[in-house]
Structure 1
């Protein structure tokens, strides 16, 4: 998710399987974003705008399957913190929109806790948006079809290749083996999970 989509994420957008099904995937049905733009640029004086999803018609939604681990994290978050009066999952202490400066400060604390001192001096996971890049890169490295990766990420395949082509490179041996199996009609890929 983009940070502006996370800012708008509501409980109603989360389709979470029951706790008795810990291995079942859930789904986020995204329909809104709340980009931070500054109070001087909005009609109502708020520091953000309520918008539809980036580069989509206003009422369009985007479905994103989420793994069981994220389902469990969202459940735990809602159990501990509840939601804002309008149903949003993530909010500032006073209930308003979580500002980018607030989550950037927490991100830096988490970065210091998670990374070695040497890695802290590099651009690795420098900003919260790095999570989005890491997620898309993981999907590509896992072999998820690029069209599906682009759909889940909410952008075009062209954008996917423009920004993530470096992740796709370096898999020539694996790709050659897949092509060879397809040419010989060997469907072992479907049987052994590779």
Structure 2
């Protein structure tokens, strides 16, 4: 909700980069210092002004470029805005998410917990990265976790890795001289 155009490196081709600097959690007017529905905060577990860079694949670069081309940006540079230029309400986000699930999934999947929340896509991405062999330190950095938290939460998502790991160890051991 706080992503601004200036936070995006969206090249014509190849990978891009988002520099995440702020978050805009919905807390309610009674619970924010500003009296606004959304608080303006730094990122969790970081200094107030410490950003986090996240590489993004070419497909997402293209989607964001198309979004900006079609909808423009808010006066403050935010990519996502309501029709009046405000922060998108959580209720709107939830309604659109439910509609997207109905369009993208089978009826049986819609009735399941699959992608029940937008944050489930984040979990799916982290699981995918780990299962494809991306080092835990890199996954943690991209996801904004410590390696310790990453491994506590996602260690069990690495499925079917035994054969792959055995092959990697075998390749590493090939040609090594072993005492008889």
TM-score range, shorter chain: over 0.9
Note the 1:107-122 alignment, pairs <5 A: 107-122=97-112
- In 1, Cα distance between the equivalents of 2:175 and 2:87? 54
Alpha-carbon distance in structure 2 between the residues aligned to 1:131 and 1:25: 19
The alignment's TM-score, normalised by the length of structure 1, stands at: 0.87
Q: Say whether the 8 Å CA contact 2:131–2:159 is kept in structure 1.
A: no
User: Distance in 1 between the 2:51 and 2:73 partners?
Assistant: 21
1:82-93 to structure 2, matched below 5 A, reads: 82-93=72-83
Q: 1:63 aligns with which of 21, 32, 53?
A: 53
Q: Is the 8 A contact 2:16 2:55 kept in 1?
A: yes
One of 178, 182, 188 as aligned partner of 2:168 = 178
d(CA) in 1 for partners of 2:53, 2:174: 36
Q: Which SS does the other structure have where 2:18 is aligned?
A: strand
Provide the residue aligned with 2:3 in structure 1: 9
Q: Look up the SS of the partner of 2:54 in the other structure.
A: strand
User: What are the within-5 Å matches in structure 2 for residues 154-169 of structure 1?
Assistant: 154-169=144-159
Partner in structure 1 of residue 130 of structure 2: 140
Say which of 75, 81, 91 aligns to 2:71. 81
Aligned residue for 2:55, secondary structure, equals strand
**Cα distance in structure 1, aligned partners of 2:104 and 2:168:** 36
Which runs of structure 1 show a deviation greater than 3 angstroms over 4 or more consecutive aligned residues?
A: none
| CA distance in 2: counterparts of 1:103 and 1:179, whole angstroms | 46
For structure 2, the 5+ residue unaligned runs are none
Residue 65 of structure 2: SS of its match in structure 1?
Answer: helix
Bigger Rg over Cα:
2
